[in-house]
């Protein structure tokens, strides 16, 4: 094979793949529109036909404003936390030295974090 035919085959393959992808997108969009139309027809058939003259337009309901920063239900980490101990951390005796572990850094970190909460 020569270089010219390799380039033509490669470009043809790339164009063909993207053309098929666009075709699949169009098919899926068409199916979505069809199913949306079917759902709208089913919904319209289920709703009773009410006279439009008798219905008064209701006043628009103002949605309740959500707080900008809602409080967390049970915050784990806060700026000021109470450990529930009477003695300050600096006055506590030092923990006994442990042997060097095999690199379970994240397990140690999780155990420390879980003890705080």
Q: The whole model's pTM is what? A: 0.36
Q: How far apart are CA 83 and CA 112, in angstroms?
A: 13
Q: Grade residue 51 by pLDDT with cuts at 50, 70 and 90.
A: low
Summarised one tens digit per residue, pLDDT across range 87-114 is 555 555 666 666 555 567 777 777 788 8
Summarised one tens digit per residue, pLDDT across range 14-47 is 999 999 999 999 999 999 999 999 998 988 888 7
Least Cα distance to 95 among 108, 84, 76, 110 occurs for 108
**Residue 36 burial by Cβ neighbours in a 10 Å radius (0-12, 13-18, 19+):** exposed
Q: How far apart are CA 72 and CA 18, in angstroms?
A: 47
Q: How far apart are CA 19 and CA 15, in angstroms?
A: 6
């Amino acid at each position: 094979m020569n270089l010219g035919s390799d380039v033509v085959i490669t470009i043809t393959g790339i164009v063909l793949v993207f053309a098929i992808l666009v075709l699949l997108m169009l098919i899926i969009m068409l199916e979505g529109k069809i199913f949306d139309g079917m759902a709208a027809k089913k919904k319209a058939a289920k709703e009773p036909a009410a006279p439009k003259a008798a219905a008064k337009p209701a006043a628009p309901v103002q949605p309740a404003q959500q707080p900008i920063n809602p409080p967390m239900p049970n915050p784990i980490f806060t700026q000021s936390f109470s450990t529930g101990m009477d003695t300050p951390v600096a006055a506590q005796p030092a923990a006994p030295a442990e042997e060097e572990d095999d690199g379970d850094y994240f397990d140690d970190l999780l155990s420390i974090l879980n003890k705080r909460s």
